[in-house]
Every structure is written in C-alpha cells, then in structure tokens.
C-alpha cells in the first residue's frame, strides 16, 4: 500500500502492462483515467483525467505508467483515509477497468 501525506502534491502512478494479441504495445496514445474510491467500484463521476509516463530500461524495454496528480491543487484532492486506486483505458473496442491497489492518505 502506498502512503502519502494529505499535504503532499504528487503523481500517483500505476504500472500498465498492455498487450494486444499476446504482444506488448505502447498504450500512451490512448485516453487514461484514474479513480480513487473508498472500497467500491467507481461511479461515472469519480473518474479523473490521467496522463502517461514512460520509463526506458537500460536494455531498451519500455515500462508504461498511468498517473494522476493527487493532493492540494492537484487533479484529485483526497481526505485522510484508505482508497482503492482504479485505472480505465479507452482501447477501443475494449475499455478495461483495472483495480490497481490501495493508497493511504495520512
């Protein structure tokens, strides 16, 4: 579980391993959204715009992270508590909704 201060302003990142027909592909040209819920599936109004971050490993492999700016003045401001982190990617014809773990705001 990730822990952040309620006063922190930072990106919350989720590793996304995208595959199509068994092969890895770059999802960063797709729309990504993130939601933070108190344990339930996200409602339509809980989705927030996300962005992508790419990390290139020394041997050339790329890792893709969905991210959302969380904290005071960020895309999402969370009160103290524990939240489920969700990622939704518009990869037509699929729109996967992925539960990505938990975050504790202290």
Provide the pLDDT for residue 67. Answer: 98
The pLDDT of 34-39, averaged and rounded, is 94
Q: Please indicate whether residue 20 or residue 10 has the higher confidence score (pLDDT).
A: 10
Domain count along the chain = 1
Confidence bin at 8 (pLDDT 50/70/90): very high
Q: What is the CA radius of gyration of the chain?
A: 14
* Average of per-residue pLDDT values in the chain: 93
- CATH number of domain containing 99: 2.60.40
Band (61; pLDDT cuts 50, 70, 90): confident
Whole-structure pTM value: 0.90
Domain that holds residue 90: 2-105
Q: Residue 11: what pLDDT?
A: 96
Other beta carbons within 10 angstroms of residue 54's beta carbon come to: 11
């Amino acid at each position: 579980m990730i822990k952040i201060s309620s006063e922190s302003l930072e990106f919350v990142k989720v590793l996304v391993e995208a595959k199509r027909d068994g092969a890895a592909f770059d999802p960063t040209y797709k729309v990504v959204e993130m939601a933070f819920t108190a344990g339930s599936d996200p409602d339509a109004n809980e989705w927030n715009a996300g962005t992508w971050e790419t990390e290139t490993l020394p041997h050339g492999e790329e890792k893709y992270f969905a991210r959302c700016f969380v904290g005071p003045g960020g895309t999402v401001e969370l009160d103290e508590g524990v939240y489920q982190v969700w990622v939704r990617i518009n990869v037509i014809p699929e729109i996967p909704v992925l539960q990505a773990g938990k975050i504790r705001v202290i």
